[in-house]
Amino acid sequence: MRLVRWHGEDLLERLDDVIAVYGEAMGYSVQLLQTRRGYVAGHTRREAFQAVATLDDDNGLLGFGYGYRGTSGQWWHDQVRNALRRDHRKFWLSNCFELVELHVRPHAQGHGIGAHQLHELLSHAQQQTVLLSTPEAPEATSRAWRLYRRFGFVDVLRHFNFPGDDRPFAVLGRQLPL
């Protein structure tokens, strides 16, 4: 297997595979995945977009991750901004890399793929901080939570509900560079 850096066009060429990995990793319905296609495609045009992918020997997609510079006017950024205290807004959001997606197919999890993808993305991010959101889960049983904690992510918001989703999320962050 190999880790490759992708431009927006590369991700768009493999959008079906990206959505399939996303769906497997998150357990989302086919209907939800169809709406995500447009969001993901739109994200490739955002400022400072970068992506990585892990491919198997047959060029099959095992995992991917991407992010970009978060700015005012972006839905996620504005939701988090409105929930933070003013001093936290300035620190976390003034020059932030938003880690939007980081997923590995369930059968390939536990082999360091997510860690390699995360390290590659954060090593190239030029911003001062990185933020992400992840569903709340018991940290001891969640691979994602253990990965983020191992990389030094701290709590920024906990038990936060984004409009349109009943699940509570945590917003985690860390300073950059790694």
The set of catalytic residues is 148
Asked whether 99 and 130 are in contact (CB, 8 A), the reply is yes
DSSP state of 128: S
Four-point Cα dihedral 174, 18, 21, 77, nearest 10? 30
Asked whether 151 and 118 are in contact (CB, 8 A), the reply is yes
Asked whether 131 and 156 are in contact (CB, 8 A), the reply is yes
DSSP state of 108: G
CA of 69: how far to CAs of 5, 55, 116, in Å? Answer: 17, 25, 20
